[in-house]
Amino acid sequence: MKKAFIVLGLSLVIAACGGKKSGSESQADSTNAANKTAVATNSDAAQDTAASHIGTDKAGGTPSAPGAQLIAKSDCQTCHKEQEKLVGPAFVDVAKKYSSSPAAVDTLANKIIKGGSGNWGTVPMAPHAAISMDDARTMVKYILSLKK
């Protein structure tokens, strides 16, 4: 009788645990599913805005930051490198020179679109009239993020 009681007790415990476990598992499953949908929607949105027109060259080590992608897709790298001066200043030097305030971001974004000279020497920065203010800001934010 005693033995039967223990067995019964044990199986109740097991049943209880089992019940709980499968319950939390199915909860976890549904959260995962929700997360996946959220992530999918987010990346779709990101592609619609920042990345839609920068092409599909995901292969070949395209940088993942949206600003870096925009820079890689434009002609910036004919005159700029991240770490060294080329025709224009190294992006790390630009990052050192300016704060990351919204005003500085706008100034530099305008410079990318309109071009200009005088801050680093007499060689002018080529204008990029086809780049939107949003994209230019994204590029600038990436450049300023190189600050050490």
The residues that touch ligand HEC, with contacts defined as CB under 6 A, are 71, 74-76, 78-80, 87-89, 94, 108, 111-112, 116-121, 123-126, 128, 139-140, 143
Nearest 5°: phi and psi at 110?
-65, -40
Min dist CB 45 to ligand HEC, Å, is 24
In terms of CB distance, is 11 or 78 closer to ligand HEC?
Answer: 78
Min dist CB 17 to ligand HEC, Å, is 59
In terms of CB distance, is 18 or 115 closer to ligand HEC?
Answer: 115
The burial class, CB within 10 Å (0-12 / 13-18 / 19+), for 37 is exposed
Min dist CB 52 to ligand HEC, Å, is 17
